[in-house]
């Protein structure tokens, strides 16, 4: 038994956290390759290496996935200090390379010198598609940096191959990510690039992107639905997501055939970003004027948000609640109470649905089953949960209001 335990301990030394082992990099200059400060790591690796996100069979494992900053030409290398088969018999290491090759498209190099030589071609890389928006961000280190947002589609020469390389990042940063069929012409692609100088030339670095699928709405409309959105980690926290989402909204608002803009299975962080952007867009609309907010959410608000900004009623209602909170003196008990009731009225919707379901159950459930369901819908519990939901919502709203105030 002691021998078994000793063996298990030795084998445990050959387990690696794949989120730490995978080293990602966007390379602009040859010196970036050896600079650990430019390396970033995945948030997730379970789609390749299982739920425990562990690779077995290696010590000192490092999986290098380095990309040229613009064209995303790829270097793929696996390094380790020792391998399990060198020390033990009858124990097979995981197929590290095979898992990566399932994600990274063909055409990568495994030679660092070849990869560095590809940097010389970056000056030839130009953003795909049509320029939609240009903006600047101030950096304490670099001063004013210029960014561009472009709209592309699969017909752009070279874009298909570029997109195959770009979408590999999804697997590491979106928990339930999957690759899309980019050949479907209903897809729109929105790309963010940073302009930078190298040896007197203007080059472009990939910052992030969004994919949008255009659904048909009878009889002659479309409903663009955001599918994926990712700002690459070196650029996160700089406001690029808001710039991208606002530019996309403004683009679709210019198209008369668009009914409204939605998102597929949005994450919590995306919902917060969308709230922020939609509040920015709506705050200047006449129906959302301060003197109208205390009258409650109206059909006119829903219609104007839909007609002018392609915002559906559900999202317009959230915008109204945020703007009303900003316009409400919450130290005034009566005004605070009115606001609280207004928000809770919306939040209570799912509980009302439960009550309707309970009425139906009474007709078809045995008494003991009915008691079980009634216990789950205890009124006191509902009130407590409703209050918790309200507090969470208001806290999120306050952060959005603070962010807008900081941008003013």
Note whether 142 and 114 are same-domain residues.
no
Note whether 319 and 188 are same-domain residues.
yes
Cα–Cα distance between 298 and 374 in angstroms, integer? Answer: 35
Does the model's pTM come out above 0.85? yes
Note whether 288 and 162 are same-domain residues.
yes
Q: 315: which 2 tokens?
A: 């999202």
Q: Which residues are catalytically annotated?
A: 264
Note whether 133 and 233 are same-domain residues.
yes
pLDDT of 1? 46
pLDDT of 5? 67
Note whether 128 and 76 are same-domain residues.
no
Note whether 211 and 290 are same-domain residues.
yes
Note whether 160 and 113 are same-domain residues.
no
Q: Domain tally for the chain?
A: 2
Identify the CATH number of the domain in which residue 111 sits.
3.90.360.10
pLDDT of 160? 96
* Side-by-side strand order, sheet with 74-79: 39-40, 22-27, 62-68, 74-79
3-state secondary structure at position 296: coil
129 part of a folded domain: yes
Boundary residue ending a domain (122, 146, 165): 122
List the domain range (segments joined by +) for residue 319. Answer: 123-325
Boundary residue ending a domain (81, 100, 122): 122
98 part of a folded domain: yes
Q: What are phi and psi of 229, to 5 degrees?
A: -150, 130
Cis peptide before 24 (omega within 30 of 0): no
pLDDT tens, the chain, 408 aa long? 445 567 677 778 889 999 999 999 999 999 999 999 999 999 999 999 999 999 998 999 999 999 999 999 999 999 999 888 766 667 788 999 999 999 999 999 999 999 999 999 999 999 999 999 999 998 887 789 999 999 999 999 999 999 999 999 999 999 988 999 988 999 999 999 999 999 889 999 999 999 999 999 999 999 999 999 999 999 999 999 999 999 999 999 999 999 999 999 999 999 999 999 999 999 999 999 999 999 999 999 999 999 999 999 999 999 999 999 999 999 999 999 999 999 999 988 755 555 555 555 555 655 555 455 545 556 777 788 889 999 999 999 999 999 999 987
Note whether 55 and 152 are same-domain residues.
no
Q: What are phi and psi of 314, to 5 degrees?
A: -60, -45
Note whether 182 and 112 are same-domain residues.
no
254 part of a folded domain: yes
What's 90's DSSP letter? Answer: S
Note whether 88 and 197 are same-domain residues.
no
Note whether 17 and 131 are same-domain residues.
no
Boundary residue ending a domain (308, 325, 342): 325
pLDDT of 332? 96
pLDDT of 407? 84
pLDDT of 370? 46
Q: Write out the H or E segment, with its range, that includes residue 306.
A: helix 299-309
pLDDT of 88? 67
């Amino acid at each position: 038994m002691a021998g078994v335990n000793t063996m298990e301990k030795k084998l445990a030394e050959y387990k690696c956290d794949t989120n730490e082992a995978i080293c990602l990099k966007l390379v602009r200059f040859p010196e970036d390759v050896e600079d650990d400060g430019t390396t970033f790591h995945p948030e997730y690796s379970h789609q390749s290496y299982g739920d425990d996100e562990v690779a077995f069979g290696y010590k000192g494992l490092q999986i290098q996935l380095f990309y040229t900053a613009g064209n995303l030409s790829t270097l793929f290398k696996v390094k380790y200090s020792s391998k399990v088969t060198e020390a033990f018999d009858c124990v097979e290491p995981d197929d590290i390379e095979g898992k990566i090759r399932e994600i990274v498209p063909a055409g990568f190099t495994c030679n660092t010198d070849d990869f560095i030589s590809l940097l010389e071609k970056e000056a030839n890389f130009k953003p795909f598609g049509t320029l939609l928006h240009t903006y600047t961000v101030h950096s304490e280190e670099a001063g004013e940096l210029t960014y561009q947002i472009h709209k592309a589609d699969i017909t752009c020469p070279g874009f298909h191959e570029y997109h195959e390389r770009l979408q590999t990042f999804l697997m590491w940063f979106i928990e339930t990510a999957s690759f899309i069929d980019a050949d479907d012409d209903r897809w729109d692609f929105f790309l963010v690039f940073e302009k930078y100088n190298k040896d007197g030339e203007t080059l472009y670095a990939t910052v992030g992107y969004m994919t949008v699928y255009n659904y048909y709405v009878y009889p002659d409309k479309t409903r663009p639905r955001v599918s994926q959105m990712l700002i690459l980690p070196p650029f996160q926290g700089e406001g690029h997501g808001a710039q991208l989402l606002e530019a996309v909204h403004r683009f679709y608002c210019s198209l008369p055939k668009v009914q409204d803009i939605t998102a597929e299975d949005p994450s919590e962080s995306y919902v917060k970003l969308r709230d922020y952007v939609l509040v920015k867009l709506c705050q200047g609309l006449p129906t959302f004027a301060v003197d109208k907010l205390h009258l409650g959410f109206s059909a006119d608000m829903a219609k104007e948000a839909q007609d002018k900004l392609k915002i559906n009623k559900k999202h317009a209602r959230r915008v109204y609640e945020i703007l009303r909170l900003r316009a409400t003196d919450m130290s005034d008990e009566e005004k605070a109470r009115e606001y609280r009731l207004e928000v809770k009225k919306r939040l209570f919707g799912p509980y009302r649905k439960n009550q309707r379901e309970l009425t139906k159950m009474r007709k078809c459930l045995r008494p003991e089953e009915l008691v079980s369901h009634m216990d789950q819908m205890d009124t006191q519990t509902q009130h407590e949960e409703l209050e918790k939901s309200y507090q969470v919502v208001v806290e999120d709203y306050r952060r959005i209001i603070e962010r807008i105030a900081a941008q003013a």
